[in-house]
Structure 1
Amino acid sequence: MDFDAISKFVSHSDRVKCVDIHPVKPWVLTSLHTGVVQIWNYETKTLVKAIQCCGNSVRSAKFIPRKNWISTASDDRKVRIFNSESFDMIHEFEAHSDFIRSIVIHPTLPYLISVSDDKTIKVWDWENEWRLEQQFDGHEHYVMQVAINPYDTNVLISASLDKTLKIWKLGEETDIGTLEGHHKGVNCVAFLGKSRIVSGSDDRSIRIWDYETKSCIESLERSHQHNITFLSSFNDWIISGSEDNYVKIWNSKSLRLGKELNFEMGRVWCIGIEESGIISVGFDSGAVVLKI
């Protein structure tokens, strides 16, 4: 697998907490530990806009292209919505009682889904004045991330520092499955095709799970030298990032290491992938955009 670094920039922040790539425009969105959100043009390598969201860490930010919005979530427990053309804030609300770790946008329904240190997963409906559509309870520690099943978008999976992953279905009150096997907190999770799930943990392992049986079928023990902070999947590849400063690309079938990258920018905190093969990675001192 070949990667070309098509853009590299320093965001002048303690760390980049989240990256997202616009599906149409050549934009990468970075949310920073300092409370700033930046939009970069990765083709011209120029800053399009910097938005001072708040005085707290913005742990997650996502484009909502069908509404021309940018959504952010931060340690002040608030979700904020900005117009992606004027960059004016058009809405904000307190979504949780503790830090918001991550948000994800539903691909078809008008839902923003947030997870938090308050141990909950919440579904917000922007077509009904940001009404709380559903809340999922069941984790016993911070919820770090949530992912939507691309083959059944009514199904979610959450990763928690209680060492488990839980599967949820929109409209149902309790989880429909719990995945247990990690020895420390789980930081990240993604769906891997139709039948598998991949997760990364503070125990430094990457685990592959069977979606139907909810059992662990493969484990890459000590796949990194430090905590795994983020991972994603793209075609036949798993891309993982760690506090050991490395991005690693694994073959999802053989689980062999295909490539490892170190950009000398500190710890890896986040990875964003767009369907065309554009990948962005956020580090302690900036972000890199890659093209497969």
Structure 2
Amino acid sequence: MDMILDDKTLDDNVESFFSHDSGDPRDKVGLSTDVTKGFKFSEIRVLPASTSKVECCHFSSNGKLLATGGHDKKVTLWSTESFTVNSALEEHSQWITDVRFSPSMLRLATSSADRTVRVWDADNAGHSLRTFTGHSASVMSVDFHPTKEDLLCSCDGNNEMRYWSIKNDSCAGVVKNAMKMRFQPRHGRLLAAMAENLVYILDVETQVGKLELQGHKSPINSVCWDPSGEFLASVSDDLVRVWKISSASKGHCIRELNHSGNRFNTCVFHPTHPSLLIIGCYQTLELWDMAENKTMTIQAHAQKVSALAVSSDNALVATASHDMVVKLWK
């Protein structure tokens, strides 16, 4: 595959909101940061999400609910308006690995080390609607298709990916060589799946691979799409790469960031600033302005930042951590 390092910004119309001084581009800052011209990133709430490690979090499509889960074997639904617990989902027998809301309705899916995937009604979460079995190892990720309400996907620790029909309560297909994945937003024509140090871009309709994104030397920890579905970020311990995914079956690396001593773990695009990537590390967040190729480090948690989530409706950012709390930022 033809790999290109391009100097163009992700969005030529987005001004840099990081400072333009000649200081160290990796400045340590406090919990509240005025970067420039009104851009602010502040911790606004701490949620005591668990009695053990928190591994995952995700906002509902309207931003009114936040789901968190981890090693206490349950998923907690929080109101982002009152910051109180709406309900707790407690049918899994092992720790929760991933949680995702449906983009089109108030359903959510949960995956677990108990090798199952469950689907819930967020408005009536007393019992799960569906339980999918068939994985031979811990299910490591789960995701809803953005437009096909019936289609769900999950991956396990044996690098097996399964498509599920919610309506038929059955497996609709099996693909090998994927441990974690995310559907492309909006149209969902593509799916980004990762295994070891590679990212595979699959055609959802045919379940056939279209691209193989190379460049990471270490195993990839996570991937995330930007809201447009045109850009994909991939994160390994020592490297973050941002790719432009074209409709002509091409993937170009347009940005990359090497770590400076703190391991990268997860990432998400900022909900209102498209050229800002938020990267979760051990105890800290890296705010990477890709337009200016500058980063700032924010002290965020007492342990590893295990997951990130954003809501475009209320511009909230959630950070989950092994320190047993989830923080909300804005």
Q: What band does the TM-score fall into relative to the shorter chain?
A: 0.7 to 0.9
Counterpart for residue 218 of structure 1: 211
Q: Deviations over 1:47-75 (max 9, x none)?
A: 21112222311111223364733221111
Structure showing greater relative contact order (alpha-carbon pairs closer than 8 Å, 6 or more residues apart)? 2
Counterpart for residue 278 of structure 2: 280
User: 5+ residue gaps in structure 1?
Assistant: 13-41
The size of the alignment, in residue pairs, is: 257
**Residue identity matched to 1:78:** K
Matched, 1:209 2:202: yes
Matched, 1:103 2:103: no
How far did residue 89 of structure 1 move? Answer: 2.5
- Between the aligned partners of 1:195 and 1:90, the Cα distance in structure 2 is 34
Q: Select which of 219, 223, 239 maps to 1:227.
A: 219
How far did residue 291 of structure 1 move? Answer: 6.0
Matches within 5 A, 1:1-292: 1-2=8-9, 43-64=39-60, 66=62, 68-180=64-176, 182=177, 186-191=179-184, 194-201=188-195, 203-221=196-214, 223-234=215-226, 235-243=229-237, 245-253=238-246, 254-264=250-260, 266-273=262-269, 276=272, 277=274, 279-290=277-288
- Between the aligned partners of 1:84 and 1:259, the Cα distance in structure 2 is 33
- Between the aligned partners of 2:44 and 2:266, the Cα distance in structure 1 is 21
**Residue identity matched to 1:214:** Q
Root-mean-square deviation (Å): 2.9
How far did residue 208 of structure 1 move? Answer: 1.9
Q: Taking structure 1 as reference, are residues 159 and 191 closer, same or farther at Cα in structure 2, changes over 3 Å only?
A: farther
- Between the aligned partners of 1:111 and 1:125, the Cα distance in structure 2 is 5
Paired residues of 2:109 and 2:143 also in contact (CA < 8 A): no
SS at match of 2:128: strand
TM-score of the superposed pair, with normalisation by structure 2: 0.69
TM-score of the superposed pair, with normalisation by structure 1: 0.77
- Between the aligned partners of 1:265 and 1:171, the Cα distance in structure 2 is 47
Q: Deviations over 1:237-277 (max 9, x none)?
A: 2210112x211012213222211013536222222236652
- Between the aligned partners of 2:164 and 2:170, the Cα distance in structure 1 is 7
User: 5+ residue gaps in structure 2?
Assistant: 1-7, 11-15, 20-26, 32-37, 291-330
Q: Taking structure 1 as reference, are residues 220 and 95 closer, same or farther at Cα in structure 2, changes over 3 Å only?
A: same
Question: Kindly, what percent of the aligned residue pairs are identical?
Answer: 20
**Residue identity matched to 1:191:** Q
Paired residues of 2:60 and 2:106 also in contact (CA < 8 A): no
